Amino acid sequence: MRKEFSAGIERLVKADDKIIFITGDLGYNALENLQAIMGPRFINAGVAEQNMIGMAAGMAYKGFKVFCYSIAPFAVYRCLEQFRNDVCLHNMPVFIVGNGGGYGYGIMGSTHHAIEDLACLSGLQNVNTYIPAFADEIDPMLDQIMAENRPAYLRLGAGPKTLDDAEQTGTFKQIVRAETGSAGTVVALGPVAANVLTALQQPDLAGRFDVFTATNLPLDLPRELAQRWAGKPLLIAEEHVSIGGLAQQLSVQLLTQGAAPGRFMSLSAQGYPNGLYGDQKYHQQQSGLDPENIARCLRELV
C-alpha cells in the first residue's frame, strides 16, 4: 500500500501547505515524489523516532498537520511515550504512518514485526487508528484523518483492491453478503481479509457467510449491526494479538449490547510458537491465519 499512500499524500499536500511530512530515514523507492514536490516540508529525521514525534508535536502546536512515517514497529514502539505525552494528551494533529503492520517484514524477525501496535495505540486518549484491508481504502482514510485533525495511526500492509459494492456501517465494512440465509459472520482486520476471501472460494463455503472488515479501532459498532450478529456464529481474523485487538474490543461491545454470538472463534497472531522466523505467509500459517485453516475453522464453526 506504500504507492497508494504516497500518491494520496501527494494529492493532499498540493492542496494544503500546512502539511509536513517527516520520515524516520525510510521510504526508499516510495517517497521520492513527495521529497520532490514538498521541498523543506519534507524532512528526514534520521533514525531518531522519539525526536521525530517530539518535533512533530512542536510543529502541530504551531498550526501544522504532520505525518510521521516509518516501518510500523519503529513508528509505534520506539516513541510510544512521546506520542502519548506530547501528541495525544494535547490532541495534536500528528499522524503516525506505520508500514508493514503485523508480520509484514517477515524474515527480519520479531524486532521488525508489529503484532501489538493497535493494542498500544487504540487505548490512548484522542487517537483513531486506521487499518485498511484494501489498497483503494487509503485515499478515503487519509481524507478522514485530515478532517478529524487529531492524533491518528495508519497501519499499512499489502492488500488487493476492495470490492466495488462494499458498504460501511460504523467502523465496519461489509465486503461479502451471504447469497442465501447467512450461516454466520466473519470479521477481519486489515489485509488478512484476503485470506478470508480465499478460504470462502471453497465450494462448500462459498456464499454462506457475511464478511466484514473492521476499518478503525476503537470500534464504533452500531446497535443494528450488533443485533444482526447476535446468536449467530462469529469468526474473528486479525494479524494482531487478540489482547487489545479486534477480538477483545468487539466481544466487549457485543456483550455490552446484549448481542452475544451463538459461537465465537478468534484467530489472531500467536507470536512465534516454534521460535523460528519466515516470511509473512509462514507466520500467518503458524498463527492459523492462512486460508486453509480459516476454511477449516469456518466448517467447524457451523
Per-residue pLDDT tens listing for the chain (302 residues): 899 999 999 999 999 999 999 999 988 888 999 999 999 999 999 999 999 999 999 999 999 999 999 999 999 999 999 999 999 999 999 999 999 999 999 999 999 999 999 999 999 999 999 999 999 999 999 999 999 999 999 999 988 887 777 889 999 999 999 988 899 999 999 999 999 999 999 999 999 999 999 999 999 999 999 999 999 999 999 999 999 999 999 999 999 999 999 999 999 999 999 999 999 999 999 999 999 999 999 999 98
Instruction: For residue 164, give every residue at least 6 positions away whose Cβ sits within 8 Å of its Cβ, in sequence order, or none.
Output: none
Rounded CA separation 61/41 (Å):
16
* Domain spanning 167-301, CATH architecture: 3-Layer(aba) Sandwich (3.40)
DSSP class of 163:
P
Residue type, 126: N
Residue type, 296: R
pLDDT at res. 27? 84
User: Helix, strand, coil % (nearest 5) of the chain?
Assistant: 40, 20, 40
Give the SS3 label for residue 127.
Answer: coil
Strands 172-176 and 167-169: antiparallel
pLDDT at res. 24? 94
Q: Look up the CATH superfamily of 2-155.
A: Thiamin diphosphate (ThDP)-binding fold, Pyr/PP domains (3.40.50.970)
104 touches 130 (CB < 8 A): no
pLDDT at res. 239? 98
- Hey, where are the domains in the chain? 2-155, 167-301
